[in-house]
């Protein structure tokens, strides 16, 4: 009751999951993003496609058994896509089994016309995405048409995706064919899929920016999460040999070889700019 009065009690949803408290939403979400509408010299080549791997799962079970209502963070997905669209790239939307994309709609920037526009533009693809097996069967032979694979963040990107062998196959395909891989916040959990079936971690020795476990440990105090995380992402990546370049959930972005990463929702605009500029420079 005291937590409710203070506005730090997570909100109980109709399906029994919890979304962030009033205070957490006030501190952790925005009505408009910091997207910069940059006019890039548009890419004119053949490698114009970007595969975007979204989550299709909503509820993450915390250590205390409570379910966190999650999905992909809309700003982390849509702001980088805005930059890449402005740079002349287009998108293929996919989820592990072709079920609809799940967004953290409580984090949607309701007053952001740019984010709203690109969300509406791809709404039908979000509702009817490709499944990863179809992409593997139909597009692996068409490497010349692809520039990158993008895995947006949000806690939901830790559900199903790190445990999916098809995600591992796609990341290895991108790596072997010199495509870029882009991710941010909790999205780098997807990189764990490269270790399935006793394979070596694909990004051992890479610098990357990732959401810090230390912040995830603090957020239950304000009711952002309804309990402590089931497992720690940044520590897991470190244990596999990744070099995490950030210690805060800030605007840090990182480019190491063909891997482009960002630290948090706050890095979404910087990640979009870095990805757009890097792809335009490298794909001339």
Distances (CA, A) of 102 to 4, 77, 135, 196, 281: 27, 11, 19, 24, 32
In a domain, 265, yes or no: yes
Residues contacting residue 99 through CB under 8 Å, at least 6 positions apart: 56, 129
Distances (CA, A) of 119 to 100, 199, 220: 14, 36, 29
Catalytic residue positions, numbered: 185
CATH number at 80 reads 3.40.50.880
In a domain, 7, yes or no: no
In a domain, 8, yes or no: no
Q: Residue 37 in 3-state DSSP?
A: coil
Per the CB < 8 A criterion, the answer to whether 76 and 272 are in contact is no
Write out the residue range of the structural domain in which residue 113 sits: 15-23+44-282
Total of domains in the chain: 1
DSSP type of residue 182: E
CA-nearest of 115, 187, 183, 182 to 155 is: 187
In a domain, 144, yes or no: yes
Per-residue pLDDT of the chain (284 residues; tens, 9 = 90+): 545 655 789 999 999 999 999 999 999 999 999 999 999 999 999 999 999 999 999 999 999 999 999 999 999 999 999 999 999 999 999 999 999 999 999 999 999 999 999 999 999 999 999 999 999 999 999 999 999 999 999 999 999 999 999 999 999 999 999 999 999 999 999 999 999 999 999 999 999 999 999 999 999 999 999 999 999 999 999 999 999 999 999 999 999 999 999 999 999 999 999 999 999 999 97
In a domain, 86, yes or no: yes
Q: What is the pTM of this model?
A: 0.97
């Amino acid at each position: 009751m005291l937590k409710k009065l203070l506005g730090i009690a997570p909100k109980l949803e109709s399906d029994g999951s919890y979304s962030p408290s009033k205070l957490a939403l006030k501190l952790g979400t925005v009505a408009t993003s910091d997207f910069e509408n940059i006019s890039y010299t548009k890419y004119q080549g053949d490698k114009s496609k970007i595969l975007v791997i979204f989550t299709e799962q909503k509820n993450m079970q915390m250590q205390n058994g409570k379910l966190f209502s999650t999905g992909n963070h809309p700003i982390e997905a849509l702001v980088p896509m805005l930059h890449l669209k402005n740079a002349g790239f287009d998108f293929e939307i996919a989820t592990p089994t072709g079920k609809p994309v799940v967004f953290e709609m409580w984090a949607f920037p309701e007053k952001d016309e740019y984010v709203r526009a690109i969300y509406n533009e791809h709404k039908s693809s979000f509702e009817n995405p490709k499944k990863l097996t179809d992409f593997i069967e139909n597009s692996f032979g068409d490497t010349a048409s692809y520039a990158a694979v993008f895995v947006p963040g949000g806690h939901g990107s830790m559900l199903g995706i790190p445990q999916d062998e098809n995600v591992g196959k796609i990341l290895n395909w991108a790596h072997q064919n010199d495509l870029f891989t882009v991710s941010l916040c909790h999205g780098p959990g997807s990189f764990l899929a490269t270790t399935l079936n006793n394979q070596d971690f694909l990004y051992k020795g890479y610098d990357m920016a990732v959401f810090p476990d230390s912040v995830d440990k603090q957020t239950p105090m304000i009711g952002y999460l309804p309990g402590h995380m089931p497992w720690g992402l940044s520590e897991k990546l470190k244990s596999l040999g990744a070099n995490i370049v950030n210690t805060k959930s800030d605007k840090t972005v990182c480019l190491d070889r063909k891997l482009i990463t960002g630290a948090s929702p706050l890095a979404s605009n910087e990640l979009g700019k870095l990805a757009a500029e890097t792809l335009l420079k490298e794909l001339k």
